[in-house]
Structure 1
Amino acid sequence: MAAHRKPKQRPLTGPAARTAVTVALAGAASATAFEGVGQAAPQLSPAQVKAKVDQLYQEAEVATDKYNGTKEQTKASEKSLRTLRDEAARSTARLNTARSALGSMAAAQYRNGAVSPSVQVFLSSDPAQYLDRAAYVERAGDVQATEVSGVQRQLGRLTQLRSEAHTKLGDLRLQQAGLKKQKAAVQSRIRSAQALLARLSAPERAQYESRGGSSDGSPGPHGSGAADRSTVRDAVLAPNSRAAQAVAFAYGALGKPYVWGATGPSSFDCSGLTQAAYRSAGVSLPRTTYTQINSGQRVSRSELSPGDLVFFYSGVSHVGIYVGNGQMIHAPHPGAPVRLAPIDQMPFVGAARPV
C-alpha cells in the first residue's frame, strides 16, 4: 500500500522558489498582454469609420426594404383569407337552408310512412359523413339534391383555397420573423459603427453627418441647409400638378426623422417617404424601392425632372425624390432626418416617373 501513496509536497525554498515565482509572473504578464490585444478595439481612420458606417446603413436599408415587402404580402394574404372565410360562411348558410328544405320534405315523407335513403343521408348530423357520402346526391333526383350538390362542390373548393391561404400565410410569417432577426442583427452592427463614429472629433463627426446638406440647417457642402433649400426650391418647376404636389410634400417633410418601416406622417423610411409624397398627389406607389422603380416611366439621368424618383445602389435599395439642380429629398438612414442632398452622394442606378 505504501508504494501507492502520493509523495508529500515540500515547499520550494532558495533559488528554486525564486525561479518559480519569476516564471509564474512572466506567464501572467504574457497572458494579460495577449488578452489585451484580443479585446482591443480596432484602430480605424476617419475614412474607414465612414466606409464602415455607410456599408452598414446600406445593409440595413436592404433588410428593411425586404421586410416591408414581406409585410405587405402578409397583409394581402390575411385579407384574402378573411375573404375566403366570409365566402365559406355564406356557403354554409346556403347549405343549411338547403338541408332545412330537405328536412321539410323528409317530414312529409315520414308522415306518409317512408323516408328515402338519399334524404336520410342529407339529414346526417355529421357534416363529414354528409359530404363523404355526397355520391348519393346524384340519385336524389330533385331540386334540393341539385342545390346541395352545388354547395358541396363549392365547399370543397373553398376548403382547398383556405388551406392554401393558411400555408402561404404561415410561410410569409416565418419569412417575416427571419427578416426581423436580420434587421436586428444589422441594427446591432450599426450601433457598433456609430460607437466608432462617436470616437471621432466633433469636426469630423459634423463633416460626416452634414455631407450632402442637412434639412435642419446644419452646414452642407454649399453653405447652410436653409439657404440651399430655398435656392433649389425657388429655381425648379415640376412638369405637372402631381409631381408638384409630391415635391411640395417632400419639402414639407424636411427635418422629420427616419424610422424603420414608417410611411408618415411624422416619420419615414426612404420608400415610405416617396410613397407618402405621391399618395398626397393621388398616385398609388408600391411599398418598396425595388417595386417603385418599375411603377412608372423609366427615365435617364439626363431627362430628370422634379418629382421623378431616383434610385441608388446595385440592389435598388434606396430612393429619393428629385427636386432639380442635381438635388433630391430623401430619408437617409437611422439618426438622419429627411434632408436635401445631391444625387451624386450615392451610386445612381436609375430613375422612374410615376404616371
Structure 2
Amino acid sequence: MVSHRRPSQTGLASSARTTVLSAAAAATAAAGLGATPAGAEPREPARATRAQVDRLHQEAEQATERFNKAREDAARLRERVAHAQDSVARGQERINRMRDTLGTVAGAQYRSGGVDPALELLLSADPDTYLDRAAVLDRVGERQAHTLSELRSRQRDLGQERAEAARDLTELERSRAEVARHKRSVERKLAEARRLLNSLPDAERDAFDRASRSGRDGVPPGLDGLPASSRHASAAALAARGAVGRPYVWGASGPSGFDCSGLVQWSYAQAGVGLPRTSQAQANAGRRIPLSEARPGDIVTYRGDASHVGMYMGNGQVVHAPYPGASVRYDPVGMMPVHAVTRV
C-alpha cells in the first residue's frame, strides 16, 4: 500500500491540498524556530524505513488481488470439474445400460441361432408363422443396429468429456498452485513490513501510525448530503459506512474483516448486487464516470494497475480497507492517483 500522505491528483481532493499546504507551513515555521539539518539527520533512516514499509504494503496488496483472482479462478474451475465429472458418470451409466440391452439381445440370438433360416423355413409346419417371426427378428436387428450406433456415438462423446475434465483438473491444479504462490508472496511482504516497523524506535512507529491514520481514526467526516445515484448504491454506501472500524484482513470479504476489494464486494452484496472479487474487475463492473461527478456508492479504483479500491461517500471522502494493521476508515478520495470511478 502506498502512503496515504500523497497529494491529490484530482479536483475533489481539496483536503489533500490543504494538508500539503499545512505541512509546508509547518516546515517553514520549524525553519524559523531554528531547526537545523543536524537535528533532522536522525530521522532520515526512519523516513526511508517508513517509505519501504509503504512500498511493501503496496506490493502486498497487489499480490493480494492476484491471490483473490487465482482463488476465484480455482473456485470456478472446481465447479466446472464437478459438473464434468457428474456428466461423465451419467454418460457411463447410459452406456452401461445400452451394453446390457445389446448383451441381452445378442444372448437370445446366440441361443436361437443354431438353425439356418432357410432350413427352419423348410421344417416349419406353418410358413406364415415363420415369416412373421422373421419380420420381428428384422425389426429387432434394426433396433439393435441403431442402439449399437448410439452406443458408439455416446462413447465418443464420453471420451471427449473425460478429456475436457482432465484438462480442467490440470488447470485447477495450476490455479491452486498459483493461489499458494501468491499467498506466500503476500505473507512474505507483510512479514518484512512488520519487521521493518518493529525496527523503528517507538516514537517513529507512533509517528507512522499517526500519519497513516491522517487524524481520522474512523470518525465519519461531515459529508455533504450528496444523494447516491441509485437505491442499491445508497444501500451499498450505508453498508460500507457500517464496516468502518473493522480490521483489514487480506483475502477476506467480510463481515468481520476485509481487504479493499472484499469490502466493496461485500457492501454491494448487502444491496443485493453481485460484484467481481478483484479491484481490477470492479473497475470494469459498471459505467465509467468523471471523478467530478462521483456520488456515494460509486467505486473508486487507484494506481495504474487498479490494485486498490474504495467507495466514494461524498465531500471528497472514500471508505476503504487500507492495509494490514489499519481498520476500515475514511480517507480523502485523492489519497493516491485515481485509476477510475465506476458507477454500478
Q: What residue identity is the alignment partner of 1:254?
A: V
**What secondary structure is seen at the aligned counterpart in 1 of 2:203?**
coil
Post-superposition Cα deviations, 1:158-210, rounded to whole Å, max 9, x if no partner, equal: 12111211221122122222212211221221112321455434762452232
Q: Per-residue displacement from partner, 1:113-145 (whole Å, max 9, x unpaired)?
A: 46xxxxxxxxxxxxxxxxxxxxxxxx9971221
The whole-number CA distance in structure 2 between the counterparts of 1:164 and 1:318 is: 33
Name 1:273's counterpart in structure 2: 263
- Equivalent position amino acid for 2:338 in 1: F
Q: What is the rounded CA distance, in whole Å, between the counterparts of 1:353 and 1:263 in structure 2?
A: 20
The answer as to 2:285 corresponding to 1:298 is no
Structure with the bigger RCO (C-alpha within 8 Å, sep 6+) is: 2
- Give 2:186's match in structure 1, choosing from 183, 186, 189: 183
Change (3 A) 1:113 1:249: same
The one-letter amino acid of 1:348's match is: V
Question: Which residue of structure 2 lines up, in the alignment, with residue 222 of structure 1?
Answer: none
Is 1:171 aligned to 2:161, yes or no? no
Aligned-partner residue type, residue 167 of structure 2: E
Matched residue SS, 2:319: strand
1:75 maps to what in 2?
75
Specify the alignment match of 1:94 in structure 2: 94
**Residue of structure 2 aligned with 1:316, choices 281, 301, 306:** 306
Query: What whole-Å deviation, never above 9, does each CA across 1:294-323 have from its counterpart, x for those lacking one?
Result: 111011111211111111112211000000
- Correspondence for 1:219: none
How far off is 1:149 after superposition? 1.3
Q: Which amino acid aligns with 2:107?
A: A
2:155 alignment counterpart: 152
Q: Which residue of 2 aligns with 1:109?
A: 109
Residue 47 of structure 1 and its aligned partner are, at CA, apart by 3.2
User: Which stretches in structure 2 are left out of the alignment for 5+ residues?
Assistant: 1-41, 115-141
1:85 paired residue number: 85
Q: What CA distance in whole angstroms lies between the structure 1 residues aligned with 2:290 and 2:201?
A: 39
1:347 and 2:328 matched: no
8 Å CA contact 2:50–2:197 kept in 1: the answer is: no
Within-5 A mapping of 1:255-274: 255-274=245-264
Between the aligned partners of 2:303 and 2:53, the Cα distance in structure 1 is 15
TM superposition score normalised by structure 2? 0.75
2-side partners of 1:309 and 1:318: how far apart? 11
- Match of 2:214, SS state, is coil
Aligned equivalents of 2:240, 2:296: Cα separation in 1? 11
How far has the Cα of 1:48 moved from its partner? 2.6
Count of equivalent residues: 276
SS of 2:272's partner is coil
Greater shift after overlay, 45-54 or 65-74?
45-54
Contact preservation (8 Å) 1:293, 1:311: yes
Secondary structure at the residue paired with 1:345? coil
Unaligned runs of 5+ in 1: 1-41, 115-138, 216-224
Choose 330-339 or 170-179, whichever is displaced more: 170-179
Distance 1:51 1:194 in 2: 11
Q: Once the 2 structures are TM-superposed, how far is the Cα of residue 53 of structure 1 from its aligned partner?
A: 1.9
CA 1:176/1:203 → structure 2, altered by over 3 Å: closer, same or farther? Answer: closer
Tell me by how many angstroms 1:326 deviates.
Answer: 0.5
Are 1:208 and 2:193 counterparts?
Answer: no
CA distance in 1: counterparts of 2:312 and 2:151, whole angstroms: 61
Secondary structure at the residue paired with 1:332? Answer: coil
Tell me the equivalent position of 1:15.
none
**Is 1:259–1:267's contact at 8 Å kept on the other side of the alignment?**
yes
Hey, what's the Cα distance between the residues in 1 that align with 2:205 and 2:198?
Answer: 14
Distance 2:325 2:186 in 1: 16
Q: Distance in 2 between matches of 1:303 and 1:109?
A: 81
Question: What TM-score comes out, normalization by structure 1 length?
Answer: 0.73
Q: Do the aligned partners of 1:212 and 1:340 also contact (CA within 8 Å) in 2?
A: no
- The C-alpha deviation readout for 1:17-47, integer Å capped at 9, x for no partner, is xxxxxxxxxxxxxxxxxxxxxxxxx974443
Distance in 2 (CA, whole Å) between partners of 1:43 and 1:253 is 35
Higher deviation after alignment, 161-170 or 334-343: 161-170
Percentage identity across paired residues of the two chains: 37
RMSD: 2.1
